[in-house]
Amino acid sequence: MLHIPYGNTHIEYEEEGAHVLNSRIGELKSAGTGLEIVKKAMENPIDSPRLSELAKGKKNCVIIISDHTRPVPSRDILPNMFAELKEGNPDIEITLLVATGFHRPTTEAELKNKLGEEIFAGSKIVIHDSKNPETNVKVGVLPSGAPCVLDKIAANADLLISEGFIEPHFFAGFSGGRKSVLPGVVDQVTVLGNHCSRFIDSEFSRTGNLDNNPMHEDMVAAAKFANLAYIVNVVIDEEKRTVAAFAGNFITAHRKGCDFLLEYCRVKPAYADIVITSNGGAPLDQNIYQCVKAMSAAEATCNPDGVIILCADCSEGHGGEGFYNSLKNCKSMGELYSEIMATAQDKTIPDQWQSQILARILLKYKLIFVTRQENRDIIEDMKMIYAPSLKEAMKIARELGKETVTVIPDGVSVIVKE
């Protein structure tokens, strides 16, 4: 019996003969608690002095932390960061800067849930606003030609560091590292320039690839402009527990973490007419926007003219007005895709990249979305097929004449590559 993550629960599925593509993260056995794993990594930083050394002589430190859409185990990371910072400099002032990127602001309740009451109550916390030019400042020009406009709090930090987690990412290659800066704490003009149609269309802007990836190269440049001095990135298992940690230089520590993850996440395609997947459950499946990630994993192993079945709770609906309306208002996927590809870099609009990837997928496959009833109109507006259950979705797929099945229980945890 397979368990497919769905919100805070799961959907059971069983079918004889179905191929199953799973990451091997479950094979990793924790060498201690999450706090202990992070502490050990920070005691042995990669290509960097220890954080306690970096803190010496600094008046303040800004820690870029993830927002509510990322299951980063901050309770494992931040206490260790605080301890090393204070060890090196008892008087250092610490600010937590929430890397919302293009997402909505994180709520107080979400911050308390993420950080715990003690860290929340005892910390100075600022939520980044990518849409407020008054709080951001230009610090350079990226390789893409886009301006690098950074949150002033990050730009003015004596010491800028970040937490994060590493998972496969459908166009940046991997999450973590430099992504805490871009898109995390930059102005919308920088995000839009980096997420242009030309970069999204690049054959190198794909899951599990950093080499020659133009989006990654822009992100690295942004982190350099920001003077990102140190990172702690973790790898988590299916239960969102820390199983490995990498600390130190934002390029090499991140790369080591990515190489480590690739060993456990890479799976060969098992091409099939029907591919069933999920976006990993909560909090990653809180909206349709985020679920495009899992769709791209299914895309990599689906037969031409096949069917992708995506199971996701999507408690917050579509997740982006521009994203939703572009699909709702288009006459055809072909027309939408052509319009996006013809859009100049400096004319990129919010959510365009997600629309581009979803349009690319819908040009090739039928997509059946298993989600809550209140999302039905949204799903159908966006030219997808609604199903109230996986059983019903399979019935629809069978009626379309599809037979062979591959299941990717967690579509954001695998890298489908030959």
For residue 70, the domain's CATH number is 3.40.50.11440
Task: Answer yes or no: do 126 and 250 share one domain.
Answer: yes
- Average pLDDT value for residue range 352-367: 98
Does the pLDDT of residue 301 top 80, yes or no?
A: yes
C-alpha 295/C-alpha 228 separation (Å) is 32
Q: Check whether residue 296 and residue 406 sit in a common domain.
A: yes
Helix axes 108-115, 74-88, angle to 10 degrees: 80
- Which pLDDT score, from 0 to 100, does residue 240 have? 86
**DSSP secondary structure letter of residue 410:** -
The pLDDT tens digits for 152-190 are: 999 999 999 999 999 999 999 999 999 999 999 999 999
Question: pLDDT at position 26, please?
Answer: 83
Residue 417 has pLDDT above 80, yes or no: yes
Among 207, 242, 264, the domain-final residue is 264
Average pLDDT over residues 371-384: 99
Total domains in the fold of the chain: 2
What pLDDT score does 302 carry?
A: 99
Q: Give the domain-ending residue among 216, 249, 264.
A: 264
Average pLDDT, the chain: 96
Q: Are 91 and 61 in contact (CB under 8 A)?
A: no
Could you give the percent of the chain with pLDDT greater than 70? 100
294 and 186 fall within a common domain:
no
Predicted pLDDT at 166: 96
Confidence of residue 367 (pLDDT cuts 50, 70, 90): very high
What is the pLDDT, as a whole number, of residue 234?
A: 98
Residue type, 264: Y
283-306 burial code (b ≥16 CB/10 A, e <16): bbbbbbbbbbbbbbbbbbbbbeeb
Domain-terminating residue out of 264, 283, 314? 264
Question: How far is residue 391's CA from residue 386's CA, in Å, rounded to a whole number?
Answer: 12
pLDDT in tens, 245-273: 999 999 999 999 999 999 999 999 999 99
Asked if residue 250 and residue 282 are part of one domain, the reply reads: no
Q: How confident is the model at residue 10 (pLDDT cuts 50, 70, 90)?
A: very high
Q: Which residue has the tokens 């990498």?
A: 246
Q: Are residues 141 and 250 in the same domain?
A: yes
pLDDT band at 29 (very low <50, low <70, confident <90, very high): confident
3, 68, 128, 169: which one is catalytic? 169
The CATH number covering residue 330 comes to 3.90.226.30
pLDDT at 304: 97
- Is 19 catalytic? The answer is no
Q: Verify that 234 and 330 share a domain, yes or no.
A: no
Residue 30 has pLDDT above 80, yes or no: no
Same domain, 224 and 156: yes
Provide the residue range defining the domain that includes 129.
Answer: 27-264
Residues 230, 113 share a domain? yes
Mean pLDDT along residues 22-35? 88
Helix (DSSP H) and strand (DSSP E) numbers for the chain: 16, 20
Mean pLDDT for 226-255 is 96
216 noted as active-site residue:
no
Tell me: do 250 and 150 sit in the same domain. Answer: yes
Q: Which of 68, 103, 128, 254 is catalytic?
A: 103
Q: Average the pLDDT over 310-336 and give the result.
A: 97
Same domain, yes or no: 160 and 280 = no
1-5, 24-28, 145-149, 325-329: least confidently modelled range: 24-28
Are 227 and 334 found together in one domain? no
Question: Are residues 61 and 9 both part of a single domain?
Answer: no
